[in-house]
Structure 1
Amino acid sequence: MEEATRSLLEVTEKPVFPPVYEGVRLPAGEDAFEAALAAARQGADPATLFWEDREERVELAIVLHPEQALAQALPILHVGMIGIGDALGAIVPPQVAVTFGWPDRIEVNGGLAGGFRLAAPEGCAADAVPDWLVLGLTILVKRELIGGEEPGMDPTRTALHEEGCGELTVPDILEAFSRHFLLWVNRFEEEGLRPIAAHWLERGSGYRESVALSHAGEQHAGTFIGLDEEGGMLLQTEAVQALPLSAVLAGPGWAL
């Protein structure tokens, strides 16, 4: 009985966001990303943050109103990744490593634990300012509550509670992310991509190493040498090849 009560309290605890956000709570199972998309298309205010009230995973999506052309606004994806990286870094044990898999994967101790999604108005040109963007985040907290294979059986996937973060709750993560994301959004707006790229690369998996990945339906291999001026991956092969970040608009490059 006590366990059930504690579990219920964890789910129903309401996170506290900075005042700039308008938080919208959704019941578990109602897709935060789709809700944010629908709201954005109907003219929702920027910083409207949709979150699902569930215990086993973070599901949130934020409506954004960029002031730059789409190509320059896409690195808001990297801003989000830095936000969750710093948020988790502040609340998980120090031995837990949070890293980024380009373009949109969040890794914990080397295993996939979640990722980001990004959407823009259909048909928006790269040099046009989009009316809105929607940035979505998924982080797996308790994999054993989802069903399927036992935790730890697949070393390529993980959840925070499997990595020594058993005290963390979804509201903890929502609150921490909302604060750190806001700080990095402000820096992105004031200083541009350079500090974002530098900070992202500090956690970038495979940076300055040989990597192989599938991108936009094609296989690529080379040395990951950095990010270009629009957040794309720079691969050194016989020449330098740039993989565009815009491919994330077609859908996430990860699945849990």
Structure 2
Amino acid sequence: MTQPARRPSIVPIPRGGGAAWRMEVHDRLGSTSDLCKARLEAGEREDGVAILALEQTAGRGSRGREWNDPGGNLALSVMLVGQGADVPVGLWPFIAGLALYDAITGYVPAGHTLELKWPNDLLLDGGKMAGILIETGIGAGGSWQVIGIGANLRARPDIAGRTLSCLADCQADVPAAPDVAYRLLHHLDLWLSRYRAHGFGAIRAAWLERGHAIGTPIRVTAGNQQFTGTFAGLGDDGILLLRTSEGVRRVVTGEVLLAPANPE
């Protein structure tokens, strides 16, 4: 006989100004972001809600890719309807990326490399260990944004043609997903506060300190176009700057590969 699903546990996480995140911890979900979107489209307007799944069966990444979760990894989505919902959607990968980096870096042993990759990935020793997916829409209660974050903690999925990594590859003391989610939400608030106080310039500078180095070879695929160059930094709006033989090119969108060492 099939057992009924347990109700999610609720974990309050303090925020600035006396507020708190309301993190729901579910044993198993198809997609944390799909649950957030369904609620928002139905008109839910509670601010500070985060959904964590201990097992996610239908996760997805950028460009519609399936993101398999073998279990024991981080699958977290945040609903933005109040504080943070007014941040331009194109800036969230950088704010959330910094929060993700700061939440993970304390678990990475010496001798291993953690770095951000434009626009929404986190690499561990050159392999993708985490990604961010931002989705937007309009529901019964108005416009909303959802930040979906997946990170390989205990295992990495097997995806043909992609180089992936996880914390367990470092023989690290692998944390439980709720512990990482707690740290991530704390850092998300810190970086959101810094953005509000100092603007995107402060976010851009911090991202460049944690991202792939200036001069890194890059290959970009955008539609049926493919071009190469070296990383020349970020524009004031977060656009990737690619130095090519014809000068600096602004890359608004596309699949970015760190070439040739780190194909994904």
TM-score (norm 2): 0.74
The structure that is strand-richer by fraction is: 2
- Among 236, 246, 249, the alignment partner of 1:241 is 249
Contact kept in structure 2, 1:121 and 1:132, CA below 8 Å: yes
1:214 has 2:215 as partner: no
Contact kept in structure 2, 1:48 and 1:63, CA below 8 Å: yes
The structure that is helix-richer by fraction is: 1
Letter in 2 for 1:133: Q
How many equivalent pairs are there?
A: 223
User: 3-state DSSP class of the match of 1:21?
Assistant: strand
What's the offset of the Cα at 1:142?
A: 1.9
Contact kept in structure 2, 1:49 and 1:62, CA below 8 Å: yes
Per the alignment, residue 119 of structure 1 pairs with: 135
Unaligned runs of 5+ in 1: 1-11, 123-129, 249-255
**Stretches of 4+ aligned residues off by more than 4 angstroms:** 12-16, 66-69
- Among 230, 237, 246, the alignment partner of 1:230 is 237
For residues 26-105 of structure 1, the aligned pairs below 5 Å read 26-41=26-41, 42-54=43-55, 55-65=71-81, 66=84, 68=86, 72-105=88-121
Partner Cα distance (2:137, 2:10) in 1 = 31
Unaligned runs of 5+ in 2: 1-7, 56-70, 256-263
Identity of aligned residues (%): 20
Give me the CA root mean square deviation. Answer: 2.9
Contact kept in structure 2, 1:118 and 1:134, CA below 8 Å: yes
Contact kept in structure 1, 2:109 and 2:170, CA below 8 Å: no
Partner Cα distance (1:236, 1:203) in 2 = 20
Per the alignment, residue 186 of structure 2 pairs with: 179
- Among 5, 14, 30, the alignment partner of 1:18 is 14
What's the offset of the Cα at 1:136?
A: 0.6
TM-score (norm 1): 0.76
Contact kept in structure 2, 1:58 and 1:170, CA below 8 Å: yes
- Among 112, 136, 161, the alignment partner of 2:168 is 161
Contact kept in structure 2, 1:108 and 1:163, CA below 8 Å: no
- Among 200, 212, 215, the alignment partner of 2:207 is 200
What's the offset of the Cα at 1:240?
A: 2.2
Per the alignment, residue 133 of structure 1 pairs with: 145
What's the offset of the Cα at 1:58?
A: 0.3
Q: Could you give the per-residue CA deviations for residues 177-209 of structure 1, whole angstroms, max 9, x where no partner exists? A: 111111001111221111111111112125332
Partner Cα distance (1:67, 1:189) in 2 = 13
Greater RCO (Cα-Cα under 8 Å, separation 6 or more): 1
